[in-house]
Amino acid sequence: MNQVLDLVGIFVFALSGALVGVRRKLDVVGMAVLAAVTALGGGILRDLILNVPPAAFFSVGYVVTPLIAAAIVFFWHPQVERVMPVVNVFDAAGLGLFCAVGTEKAMDYGLSPLHATLLGVTTAVGGGVLRDMLAGQIPVLLYDRQLYAVPALLGSAVMAVLYVLDLHGWPATLAAAVLTFALRIAAVRFRFQAPLARGVTADE
């Protein structure tokens, strides 16, 4: 079940990466690269930090899924853009799943709760940061105006606390993922935004 959820999250993240490629007018190779980096980058960064072989290199599905997403966007990007509200719901679900799984894996490898939380966030948003850098734009993480990283941070922190309380496994993962999902959806629905520096307005 976890692998199925992983692949769903990878697929949705890959769609968003490929769409950035379309908007930046990249060719099919560039779209595929952005799709793969967005979907797999965070998990690869996590595993490299943990000094373990990246899980993406041991599953054909992890490689094929981003390519399928890139192909769908290549041929039908106008239709994908139209259903982006639905895609964003799955994106929020993927965000929650990845931050929870990343935090739990970090705790399994002996990291402190604080460091595991940070690594959980890295798992969830690292691919998006790499995508934006490759696409030549400021990473969305650095101006988190729609609260993307904040829900991941809170979800990862909850996962770390549950683990310390010896409440881990799929129930804890699900609880942390649902919390992240709910916060992300609420941020989109009610337009919650992270504050700017004192005296700075959004127009500046």
- Does 48 fall in a domain? yes
Task: Give me the DSSP letters along 65-101.
Answer: HHHHHHHHHHHHHHHHHHTHHHHHHHHHHHHHHHHHH
| Cα 72 to Cα 119: distance, rounded to the nearest angstrom | 31
- Does 18 fall in a domain? yes
- Does 198 fall in a domain? no
Report pLDDT for 160: 96
Report pLDDT for 204: 47
- Does 195 fall in a domain? no
Contacts of 147 (CB under 8 A, 6+ apart): 183, 184, 187, 192, 193, 194
- Does 179 fall in a domain? yes
Report pLDDT for 170: 81
- Does 200 fall in a domain? no
Query: What does pLDDT average to in each consecutive run of 10 residues of the chain (204 residues)?
Result: 73 89 92 94 93 88 93 91 78 87 92 96 92 87 76 95 89 91 89 80 62
Task: Work out how many domains the chain is built from and give that number.
Answer: 1
Q: Which domain holds residue 69?
A: 2-190
pTM score, two decimals? 0.86
| Cα 41 to Cα 101: distance, rounded to the nearest angstrom | 15
